[in-house]
Amino acid sequence: MMPIDFNGLDTAVHGPVRLGAMTALQIDGKLDFTTLKKRLEVTDGSLGVHLQKLEEKGYIKSKKAFVGRRPKTTYQLTAMGRKALAGYLDSMQKLLEAVEKAKR
C-alpha cells in the first residue's frame, strides 16, 4: 500500500464547515453569507470564523455591498482556493483508493 501523508493535509480546508463552504463555492460560484449559512446549517458566528480563516489563507474573497439598507457579503473561491480544494480532494481520492484496494 502506498503511504498516505495525513500530515500533509491542508487543515484550512479539512474541517467540515470550511470544506462545505469551499465545495459550495466551487460548485455554485459566488454565494452570499446567508445562503452559505443556510446550506451549511451553522450559526453566524461559526460561519464567520471559518470564512475569515479561508479569506486569510487567500482561498476565498469577499465583496461587501448594500442591498437597500441591508449589508450583503458575497464570497467566491479564488484560484488559490480552487487549487487547495483540488489538492485536498486528490488526497481523499488516494485514501479512498487505498481503502478499497485493502478490502480486496
- Which bin fits 68, alpha (ψ -120 to 50), beta or left (φ > 0)? left
Find the mean pLDDT for residues 20-35. 97
* Tens digit of each residue's pLDDT (9 = 90 or more) over 51-68: 999 999 999 999 999 988
What pTM was estimated for this model as a whole? 0.87
Beta bridge partners of 70: 67
Query: Which residues have C-beta within 8 Å of that of residue 76, sequence separation ≥ 6?
Result: 25, 29, 30, 31, 60, 61, 63
What is the distance, to the nearest Å, from the Cα of residue 16 to the centroid of all Cα atoms in its chain? 8
**Per-residue b/e over 24-42, b at no fewer than 16 CB within 10 Å?**
bbeeeeebebeebbeebeb
Map out the domains of the chain with their CATH numbers.
13-103 (1.10.10.10)
Lowest-confidence range among 3-12, 34-43, 60-69? 3-12
Q: Which cell numbers hold the place of 76?
A: 467566491
Q: Which cell numbers hold the place of 20?
A: 462545505
